Amino acid sequence: MKNRISVLALAALMLIGTSLTSCEAVKNSNNTQKGAGIGAVAGAVLGGVLGNNLGKGGNGALGAVLGGVVGGVAGGVIGNKMDKQAREIDNAIPGAEVERVGEGIKLTLNENAVRFDTNKSTLTANAQANLDKLVKVFNQYPDTDIVIYGYTDSTGPADFNLKLSEQRAGSVKSYLSGKGISSNRITVQGMGIADPIASNESPDGRSKNRRVEFAITANQKMIQDAEKEAKK
């Protein structure tokens, strides 16, 4: 914990030293303005440090999104596009947890949205219906990369849960790919029992931990287009 705090403190100092905007201006800005307010160098440093540390041993989707910070005016352009995509996802799937983080999106679908048969990686009809809604949004924003993280509760052997979580994330990728989303955009990672968001001591808590998370970030084309637009 001390090491993590030290790393975050170092990142904050580096950000202060390189940013050309005031703390007050950044604090009061929206997501799009924050992308532009953080200098390109500071944004890259902060995103890399936070992404690497949060992404190791936990917080997979959050770490991936933070690790993709571009910063500068180009970051503001990307942030604007992500704002729009996040709103569309939120409208398409009621109950989904959609978080705008940095210049990306962290999306959490609990088992009410993406349910699997017990101890299997087979998507239920309800899960497929919700993913169909997600496909429509992903098709509108083809210049994004998607990492899918599968999670389980703590019931059963940890190695079994790790394998099952990867298979479930893979099932989501296969379904999305089958609906026209390029498989090159999507990578998967099984997280098993890692990063619980609730206690595994209760049925409700275990239900919340059985989930799928998405890290949605700009791909190289979006970044290059944003940099060109920033120079105009």
Taking each helix axis as running N to C, give the angle between helix 125-140 and helix 72-92, from 0 to 180 degrees, rounded to the nearest 10: 150
Q: Residue 199 corresponds to which amino acid?
A: S
Summarised one tens digit per residue, pLDDT across range 18-74 is 333 333 333 334 554 444 444 343 344 344 434 444 444 456 777 666 665 667 888
Q: Tell me the per-residue pLDDT of 68-123, one tens digit each, with 9 for 90 and over.
A: 566 788 889 999 999 999 999 999 998 899 999 988 999 999 988 998 877 889 99
Distance of CA 110 to the CA centre of its chain: 14
| pLDDT, tens digit (0-9, with 9 covering 90-100), for 155-183 | 999 999 999 999 999 999 999 999 999 99
Beta bridge partners of residue 217, listed in sequence order: 145
Whole-structure pTM value: 0.75
Contact 229, 76 (CB under 8 A): no
DSSP 8-state assignment for residue 98 = E
Strand order across the beta sheet in which 186-192 lies? 97-101, 104-110, 211-218, 144-151, 186-192
All residues at 6 or more sequence positions from 81 whose CB lies less than 8 Å from its CB, including other chains:
141, 218, 222
- Name which of 150, 134, 124 is nearest 212 in CA terms: 150
Residue ranges and CATH numbers for the domains of the chain are: 2-230 (3.30.1330.60)
